[in-house]
């Protein structure tokens, strides 16, 4: 490709879509397996909130990127009409169902009750969330004539990255909401003020983040080794710098910081919270840069 057909708006959509799916999976699993623990209930609420709003914002970016939408607002309805013959149509139905389930989960979680129904909805939502994260990679993998994207590992890479960025978003939202809207989210504020519980949650979630980071690095290495033209990321291409920033700042530095925190004894609450916040923000930057490198690189390096 000699020009950029898919730009920064689609980068944002791919990033937010993957993070939304990952955040719902984090929230759903937290409630299903540890819903009796107050701190994991807060983690669950944070995850479903992130999933709903991230997916809505991502779709806004996608609609803005669809230049035809300004000419014919009903063109988006065509995406529903070819099921299941088109990957775009399948993805549209998955995302629509995912948004509905996310909204239902938020309503059930915040109005209380309906425990069994909530868990059933969460199981469905986890499947749809993982499918949404995978679709952001399948959308590219099914594009014809772009060797850079023609790998079955790309959807897997986006799912793992979506889980990692979804977890990061979920953890970032807890202190932000606690400080900005403490009255509206009292359980968030109570967790934030409870030193022992918040520290325990951070330590547990960072262990999972470490595992996800190692898996993402491994899949990334396989993707580069096995996919045509991706080796150009390592040297000489116009996106090489962004690739190395993603690798170092978005993966290796958060991993190192997390390992360091886990081995440091008697660390203060404030330093642990700030360190975890910094690590999660770097993870989010890395997730965004991964989509940028893959989307833009695929168009420039072909």
pLDDT in tens, 250-268: 999 999 999 988 887 666 6
pLDDT at 75: 58
What is the distance between the alpha carbons of residues 44 and 126, in angstroms, rounded to a whole number? 12
**Nearest Cα to Cα of residue 170 among 255, 258, 280:** 280
Indicate if the alpha-carbon torsion angle 223, 225, 227, 233 is positive or negative: positive
Stated pTM of the model = 0.90
List of domains in the chain: 8-300 (1.20.1630.10)
Q: What number is the average pLDDT over the span 189-210?
A: 92
For 88-139, how does the pLDDT look when each residue is reduced to its tens digit (9 = 90+)? 788 888 999 999 999 999 998 877 766 788 899 999 999 999 999 999 888 8
Q: What number is the average pLDDT over the span 188-216?
A: 93
């Amino acid at each position: 490709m000699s020009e950029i057909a898919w730009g920064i708006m689609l980068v944002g959509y791919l990033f937010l879509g993957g993070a939304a799916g990952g955040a719902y999976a984090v929230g759903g699993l937290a409630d299903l397996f540890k819903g009796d623990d107050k701190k994991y209930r807060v983690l669950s609420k944070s995850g479903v909130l992130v999933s709903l709003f991230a997916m809505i914002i991502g779709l806004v970016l996608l609609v803005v990127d669809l230049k035809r939408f300004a000419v014919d607002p009903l063109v988006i309805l065509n995406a529903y009409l070819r099921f299941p013959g088109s990957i775009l149509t399948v993805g549209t139905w998955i995302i629509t169902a995912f948004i509905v389930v996310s909204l239902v989960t938020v309503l059930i979680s915040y109005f209380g009750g309906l425990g069994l129904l909530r868990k059933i909805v969460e199981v469905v939502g986890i499947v749809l969330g993982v499918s949404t994260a995978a679709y952001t990679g399948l959308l590219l993998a099914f594009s014809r004539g772009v060797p850079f994207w023609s790998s079955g590992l790309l959807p897997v890479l986006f799912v793992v990255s979506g889980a990692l960025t979804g977890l990061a978003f979920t953890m970032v939202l807890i202190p932000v909401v606690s400080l900005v809207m403490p009255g509206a989210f009292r359980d968030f504020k109570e967790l934030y003020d409870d030193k022992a519980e918040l520290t325990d949650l951070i330590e547990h979630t960072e262990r999972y983040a470490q595992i996800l980071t190692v898996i993402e690095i491994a899949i990334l290495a396989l993707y580069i080794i096995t996919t045509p033209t991706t080796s150009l990321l390592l040297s000489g291409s116009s996106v090489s710098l962004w690739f190395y920033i993603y690798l170092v700042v978005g993966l290796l530095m958060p991993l190192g910081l997390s390992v360091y925190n886990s081995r440091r004894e008697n660390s203060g609450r404030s330093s642990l919270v700030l360190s975890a916040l910094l690590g999660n923000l770097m993870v989010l930057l890395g997730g965004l840069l991964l989509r940028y490198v893959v989307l833009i690189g695929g168009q420039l390096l072909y």
